A and B are shown apart, each in its own frame.
Chain A
Amino acid sequence: MNRIVNILTIFIILQGCVGTDVIDDIIEEKIEITTPIASLKVGESYSLMHRYLNNTGMEEDAEVDWFSTDQSVLEVTEDGELTALMSGQSEITVVLRENNQIMDKILIEAAEETVVLSTNSKSGTINTTSSYELTGDFEITNTDTGVRITISDNYIASSALPGLYVYLSNNPSTTTGALEIQAVSVFSGEHAYEVDADELTVDTYVYLLYFCKPFNVKVGHGEILD
């Protein structure tokens, strides 16, 4: 009897312990100038804005430096305050202070009037990054309360996996920090998602992301492009 109990004890002790999976969610850090100004009227000033996305795609405060290639045309302060001094053009650069390899540039003209380019719509193509079928074009447009994502009629997605969800994200490798839109219920053809959220625009996220939520399997993504 003792022998049987010992055998059973050994077997039960050998039951698996919960381990750890390490998710490779590191992406390149990124800094963006978020005020797409094309030209500034000579004599006027304009506050340039930026955002820094860390190595997980999360927005984070960071110290930056601003530079102008021609300070006699367009002067920029360390706070990003831009002033047009005389007609011409200059390339404005924002650089992450702790890593000057991370930067963004914009070419701005000092001219007779101020022109700010507003992006109301972007588009992209969804592609599978897994063995599951997923493909299709999409367009994302601003609405009064957020964005509308219109999936084209060439869209096809596998219905064979459970819990397929669609997200907006700045990191194509993880749903951590992503905005969950909803479970996918349409697996072919044209359809749309209305996404309402504070301060959500077509510029907020970089990827339309498809994940199998319960098993945390990435199925595919589409980069949101101008």
Chain B
Amino acid sequence: MKISVFIIGMLCAILSTTQSYAGGGWVHAKGKGYFKIGQWWVIADKHYIDDGSTDPNTTIGTFNTSFYGEYGLSDKWDVNLYFPFFSRSFNNEEVSLATGQVDREGRAVNSIGDMDIGIKYGLIQNKPIVLSAHLWLGLPTGKSDVDLDDNSKVPLLTGDGEFNQRVGLTASTARSFGKFNTFVSLGLEFNNRTNGFSDETRVNFELGAVINEKLILAYKLQWLNSLNNGNASIENGASIFSNNAEYVGYTYEIAYNLTDRVGLTANYSSVYSAKLILASPAYSFGVYFNL
């Protein structure tokens, strides 16, 4: 098996929430693909504020059950889809320690989440260093109809309510050391956001190894930077949908091929530093299928 073909299959197995980075700089061969059903969640009782320190909050959480797919239309073009077909956002109830009475009811909303569709084009393929370009469209299919005049409730969202376009380049290379196949990727991305949200830049770095064609381990570093050019009237509350959120984060991922086509994946994501996001790790796991 050519190492590049093998690596893309392995890379797809370790998707994080950064779907645009899946597969690194490689694209699928025509008729090949990768599909995954996954669960991602974060639960947090504190958040990063705008100076990078943390403060407590009512425990809130978001769960996404999603379908993710990549498919090679040709040897150069991939089409991609991320569809969180069930998204749940909740806040805990609050009970007085002194009286045991419920001071504020817990709530939850369920809906589909924000969907992403994308294309990827292999600019340089079948070389020691490959390069691809991608475009993702973030569709506001989640629930975002929060009443900003009603401050008595935690704003529960399953989407940010804005249509965004993410364009980027990803370069990757791989090298084999016996039963160890290693890979490195570096990606740059610009996210044009609408509805008053600030635009963003993102730098992604990934280092991984495929062991004995079965086990995949990877470390990802993500640097999200807000251009702070949005509308100041957008609320700056920390959530996974905040405006002007920033972070330097990392993800540990593990995947295991149960068969040639089917495998399991899990990851753990956290941050080294952040602003205006929840201050708690995110987790995911999934089942994938290689076509």
Taking Cβ atoms with an 8 Å cutoff, the residues of A that contact B are 4, 7-8, 11-12, 14-26, 55-56, 130-132, 158, 160-163, 165, 174, 176, 183, 212-217
Chain A residues with Cβ below 8 Å from B260 are none
Q: 24 A-B residue contacts at CB 8 Å?
A: A4-B37, A7-B37, A11-B37, A11-B38, A14-B63, A15-B65, A16-B43, A16-B63, A18-B90, A19-B106, A20-B92, A20-B93, A20-B94, A20-B106, A21-B59, A21-B94, A26-B97, A130-B55, A132-B55, A158-B49, A160-B236, A162-B151, A213-B151, A215-B47
Cβ of B88 and Cβ of A16 under 8 Å apart? yes
User: Which residue in B65, B88, B93, B152 is a CB contact (below 8 Å) of A8?
Assistant: B65
Question: What is the distance, in angstroms, from B225's C-beta to the closest C-beta of chain A?
Answer: 17
Q: Hey, which chain B residues are within 8 Å of A22, CB to CB?
A: 94-97
Question: When A and B form their complex, which 9 residue pairs have the shortest distance between CB atoms, in order from nearest?
Answer: A18-B106, A163-B151, A131-B53, A160-B50, A162-B237, A162-B235, A213-B151, A215-B57, A15-B63
A24 with B97: CB separation less than 8 A:
yes
How big is the B interface, by class? 35 or more
Per-position 1/0 for B138-166, Cβ under 8 A of A: 00000000000001111100000000000
Docked-complex contact B155 and A12, CB < 8 angstroms: no
Contacting residues of chain B (77-104) with chain A, CB-CB under 8 angstroms? 86, 88, 90-99, 103-104
Q: In this assembly, does B45 line the interface, its C-beta being within 8 Å of a C-beta of chain A?
A: yes
Residue of A with least CB distance to B148: A162
Q: Are B94 and A217 within 8 A (Cβ)?
A: no
Q: What are the residues of chain A within 8 A of B96 when measuring CB–CB?
A: 22-23, 25, 56, 174, 176
Report A-chain residues with C-beta under 8 Å of the C-beta of B95. 20-23
Given contacts A174-B103, A214-B237, contact A21 B92 (CB under 8 A): yes
Interface contact B154-A214, CB-CB below 8 Å: yes
| Residue of B55, B92, B235, B276 most packed against chain A (CB within 10 A) | B55
Q: Is the CB–CB distance between B58 and A21 below 8 Å? A: yes
When chains A and B are docked, how far (Å) is the Cα of A20 from the Cα of B106? 8
* Cα-based distance from A56 to B99 in the complex (angstroms): 8
Would A23 and B152 count as touching, CB distance under 8 A?
Answer: no
B241 part of interface (Cβ distance < 8 Å): no
Query: Chain A residues near B55 (CB, 8 Å)?
Result: 130-132, 217
User: In the bound complex, how far is the Cα of B39 from the Cα of A165, in angstroms?
Assistant: 36
Partner of B90, one of A8, A16, A24, A215: A16
Contact A183–B37 (Cβ < 8 Å):
no
A217 near B57 (CB under 8 angstroms)? yes
What residues on B are CB-neighbors of A56 within 8 Å?
Answer: 96, 98-99
Are B86 and A18 closer than 8 Å at their CB atoms? no
Docked Cα-Cα span, A183 to B60, in Å, equals 23
Give the residues in chain A near B63, CB-CB below 8 Å. Answer: 14-16
For B92, the chain A residues whose CB sits under 8 A away are: 18-21
Residue of B nearest to A54 (CB): B98
Main secondary structure of the interface of A (DSSP, over half): loop
**A219 CB to nearest chain B CB (Å):** 8
Given contacts A12-B65, A15-B63, A26-B98, contact A214 B151 (CB under 8 A): yes
Check: B133 CB closer than 8 A to any chain A CB.
no
A23 B106 Cβ-Cβ under 8 A:
no
On chain A, the residues within 8 Å of B99 by CB distance are: 56
Does B31 sit within 8 A of A, measured CB to CB?
no
A18, B107: Cβ atoms closer than 8 Å: yes
**Distance (Å) between the CB of B90 and the closest chain A CB?**
5
With both beta carbons as reference points, the residue of chain A lying nearest to B91 in the complex is identified as: A18
Closest-by-CB residue of A relative to B276 is A160
Within 8 A of A (CB), among B247-280: 276
Residue of B nearest to A10 (CB): B39
Residue of A nearest to B38 (CB): A11
Least CB separation from B155: chain A residue = A214
Look across to chain B and name the residue whose beta carbon is closest to the beta carbon of A159. Answer: B236
Q: Does B108 reach chain A (CB closer than 8 Å)?
A: yes
A57 nearest CB neighbor, chain B only:
B98
CB neighbours (8 Å) of B57 from chain A are 212, 215-217
List, in ascending order, chain A residues with CB within 8 A of B53's CB: 131
